[in-house]
């Protein structure tokens, strides 16, 4: 690229993410308008007074900082004790055990997304991304020169994956299949049976699944949370997650990129070495935040988690009931998890006609 030329991808980056759109809206607000704003975009629970992290988390960070042991650089892939704690935490829901070597610490889940796509990218490759989906995937895939192929989620089926469209879209150049569960922005939670079908489809197509589980365990509907890694023996699963949502600490930027591959279909020395080399050029979370993770995971009790779930369910119910009272809006499915709901425009042609003739 010549000096002074405009990189269109960089130019548009700030406008295709939720943060970019929100920033643009805030810049154009009338400061003299005193009307109360309703935040619609950011998945930051700390903006609301009803959400707080657990006292254990704050104490763990303070003690790690005051110990004076964690002021230096950490290993680029993360502190060993942090990787081990996350491996043990995730293994509780799996039919096999992860090792600390399967876990790589990232600066939030956003960096984990970029790592996953960067590791899979190659000339001419494409990646399957859900629609509706999380815009960061589009941004990261574009930067990695990956062709984006959108598969649809089916609102009439609880936002399940249209697996027929996945099979039609995939080819020999498809390198990854992204799923987001619990769903963002649709608020859906996939059943065990549907996740198994996803695994069977990915196995048939011989592509790894990138499982975004940043909202893992934040469910309040009929379906329990089932990690995609449960099917890691069928198909390699790259799990992306973080402390951000479940522990209400998005600003701490503590995430993970995890390889679920007990059958060693994906993990070969060349790939692992490539991942490690990529982490050598990344900046991970603050060392003292990493050091606090083992205690945070070990000592957080279920009372804290249940309180968060109950609050999410209450606010979700309020949102659902209010949307039903607005004639031009519809929510195809009551939210079952995460912190999002997909609201769509719904026009009734008869009522619109009556409105026009009455005016």
The 3-state secondary structure of 214-247, one letter per residue? CCCCCECCCCCCCCHHHHCCCCCEEEEEECCCCC
Q: What pLDDT is recorded for position 4?
A: 35
User: Packing angle between helix 108-120 and helix 135-143, nearest 10 degrees?
Assistant: 40
Question: Which pTM does this prediction carry?
Answer: 0.90
If one counts every other C-beta atom within 10 angstroms of the C-beta of residue 307, the result is 14
Instruction: Residue 140: count other Cβ atoms within 10 Å of its Cβ.
Output: 21
- Domain 55-299 CATH (choose: 3.40.640.10, 3.10.20.70, 3.90.700.10, 3.40.718.10): 3.40.640.10
CA-to-CA distance for 202 and 49, rounded, in angstroms? 41
For 7, the enclosing helix (H) or strand (E) is none
pLDDT per residue of the chain (359 residues) written in tens, 0 to 9: 333 333 445 444 444 566 677 777 778 888 888 887 776 667 789 988 899 999 999 999 999 999 999 999 999 999 999 999 999 999 999 999 999 999 999 999 999 999 999 999 999 999 999 999 999 999 999 999 999 999 999 999 999 999 999 999 999 999 999 999 999 999 999 999 999 999 999 999 999 999 999 999 999 999 999 999 999 999 999 999 999 999 999 999 999 999 999 999 998 888 899 999 999 999 899 999 999 999 999 999 999 999 999 999 999 999 999 999 998 999 999 999 999 999 988 865 444 444 444 44
- Biggest CA–CA distance in the chain, Å, is 74
25-59 burial, b if ≥16 CB within 10 A, otherwise e?
eeeeeeeeeeeeeeeeeebebeeeeebbbbebbee
Q: Which helix (H) or strand (E) holds 294?
A: helix 287-299
Q: How many CA atoms lie within 13 A of 47 on its CB side?
A: 9
Q: What is the reported pLDDT for 351?
A: 47
């Amino acid at each position: 690229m010549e000096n002074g030329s405009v990189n269109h991808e960089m130019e548009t980056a700030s406008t295709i993410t939720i943060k970019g759109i929100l920033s643009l809206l805030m810049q154009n607000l009338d400061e003299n308008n005193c009307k109360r704003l309703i935040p619609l975009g950011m998945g930051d629970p700390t903006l609301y007074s009803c959400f707080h992290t657990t006292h254990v988390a704050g104490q763990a960070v303070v003690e790690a900082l005051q110990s004076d042991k964690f002021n230096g650089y950490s290993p680029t892939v993360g502190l060993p004790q942090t990787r081990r704690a996350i491996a043990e935490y995730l293994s509780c829901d799996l039919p096999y055990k992860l090792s600390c070597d399967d876990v790589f610490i990232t600066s939030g889940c956003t960096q984990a997304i970029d790592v996953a796509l960067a590791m899979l990218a190659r000339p001419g490759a494409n990646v399957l991304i859900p629609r509706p989906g999380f815009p960061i995937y589009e941004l990261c895939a574009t930067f990695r020169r990956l062709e984006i192929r959108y598969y649809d989620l089916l609102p009439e089926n609880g936002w399940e994956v249209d697996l027929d469209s996945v099979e039609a879209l995939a080819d020999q150049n498809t390198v990854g299949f992204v799923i987001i569960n619990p769903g963002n922005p649709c608020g859906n939670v996939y059943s065990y049976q549907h996740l198994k079908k996803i695994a069977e489809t990915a196995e048939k197509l011989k592509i790894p699944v990138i499982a975004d589980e940043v909202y893992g365990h934040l469910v309040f509907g009929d379906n329990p949370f089932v990690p995609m890694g449960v099917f890691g023996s069928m198909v390699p699963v790259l799990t992306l997650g973080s402390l951000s949502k479940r522990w209400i600490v998005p600003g701490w930027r503590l995430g993970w990129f995890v390889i679920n591959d007990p059958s060693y279909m994906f993990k070969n020395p060349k790939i692992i070495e490539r991942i490690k080399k990529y982490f050598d050029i990344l900046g991970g979370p603050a060392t003292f935040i990493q050091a606090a993770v083992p205690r945070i995971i070990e000592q957080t009790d279920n009372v804290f988690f249940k309180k968060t779930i109950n609050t999410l369910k209450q606010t979700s119910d309020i949102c659902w009931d209010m949307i039903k009272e607005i004639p031009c809006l519809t929510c195809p499915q009551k939210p079952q998890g995460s912190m999002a709901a997909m609201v769509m425009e719904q026009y009734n042609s008869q009522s619109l006609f009556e409105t026009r003739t009455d005016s």
